[in-house]
């Protein structure tokens, strides 16, 4: 790596740590008291994860600096303006090909989820063998009694009703996190992953007006390809002040 490249990396890191917009996000744990105990545990676990020392910069919390956030205004048209034109082309392609979106019950689609996981041995990196070779276990997550805490799953289906992509999200207070998402290798070129990302935002804006931010992990330590992908879908770096 040349001196110029090293310098650019240092400048980029400095900007991620010190020059990004600040957003305060509250997980509203007080609103879990009349819900299943699972959601209090989930919220505490999420808070612990986002504030624990970052593996590359332990003086900062893991997702306190450079967190990839799309700020939601409550208006889906505003959200769409944050998506780059190439991302919108992906979404339009998926819709033109007949793909549809729905919230799903994970346990109803375990075989479809497994097919998706097995379809690509390499994604952002090599997939773990047990992740691909072991059929997913049934989820025991309870149904939430309010709008403030949940762990929903979402799916994209082809014209034949076959699951082509899915995502699981942690929803707590002000934020929904895109915890994990995968598209089937045979459908990736058709824009199924962009469609699930954008459709989740639309679902949240229609059903959870309390949500202020849509988060997809962070920028510090992410590959250039992953950073470009996050930016393409409006997940921009922020300094987040987390409140439990």
For residue 181, what is the enclosing H or E element? strand 175-183
For residue 206, what is the enclosing H or E element? helix 192-207
Once rounded to an integer, what is the mean pLDDT over residues 208-234? Answer: 95
The burial of 186, by beta-carbon neighbours within 10 Å (0-12 exposed, 13-18 middle, 19 or more buried), is given as: middle
Q: Classify 45 as helix, strand or coil.
A: helix
pLDDT at 97 over 70: yes
Whether the CA torsion 241, 45, 57, 84 is positive or negative: it is negative
Q: Rounded distance, CA 157 to CA 36, Å? A: 31
CA 164, 154, 97: angle at the middle one, nearest 5?
40
Q: Count up the domains in the chain and report the number.
A: 1
Q: Which two tokens stand for residue 38?
A: 């699972």
End-to-end Cα distance, the chain = 41
Residue 86 sits in a domain whose CATH number is: 3.40.630.30
Rounded to two decimals, what is the model's pTM?
0.94
Task: Please say whether the beta carbons of 155 and 163 come within 8 A.
Answer: yes
What range defines the domain where residue 191 resides? 3-243
- Residue 50 has phi, psi (to 5 degrees) of -75, -20
How crowded is residue 141: how many other Cβ atoms within 10 Å of its Cβ? 16
Give the gyration radius of the chain's Cα atoms: 18
- pLDDT category at 134 given cuts 50, 70, 90 is confident
Span 157-197, pLDDT tens digits: 999 999 999 999 999 999 999 999 999 999 999 999 999 99
């Amino acid at each position: 790596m040349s001196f110029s490249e090293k310098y650019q990396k240092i400048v980029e890191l400095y900007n991620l740590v010190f020059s990004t917009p600040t957003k305060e996000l509250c997980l509203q744990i007080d609103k879990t008291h009349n819900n299943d105990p699972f959601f209090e545990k989930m919220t505490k676990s999420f808070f612990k994860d986002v504030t624990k020392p970052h593996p590359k910069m332990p003086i900062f919390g893991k997702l306190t600096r450079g967190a990839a956030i799309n700020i939601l205004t409550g208006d889906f048209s505003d959200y769409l303006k944050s998506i780059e034109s190439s991302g919108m082309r992906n979404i339009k392609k998926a819709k033109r090909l007949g793909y549809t979106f729905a919230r799903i019950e994970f346990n109803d689609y375990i075989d479809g989820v497994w097919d998706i996981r097995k379809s690509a041995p390499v994604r952002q990196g090599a997939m773990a063998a047990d992740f691909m070779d072991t059929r997913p276990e049934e989820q025991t997550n309870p149904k939430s009694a309010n709008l403030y805490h949940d762990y929903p799953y979402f799916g994209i289906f082809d014209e034949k009703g076959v699951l082509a992509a899915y995502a699981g999200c942690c929803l707590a207070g002000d934020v929904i996190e895109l915890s994990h998402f995968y598209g089937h290798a045979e459908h990736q070129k058709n824009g199924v992953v962009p469609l699930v990302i954008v459709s989740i935002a639309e679902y949240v804006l229609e059903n959870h007006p309390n949500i202020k931010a849509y988060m997809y992990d962070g920028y510090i330590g992410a590959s250039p390809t992953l950073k470009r992908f996050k930016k393409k879908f409006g997940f921009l770096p922020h300094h987040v002040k987390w409140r439990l």
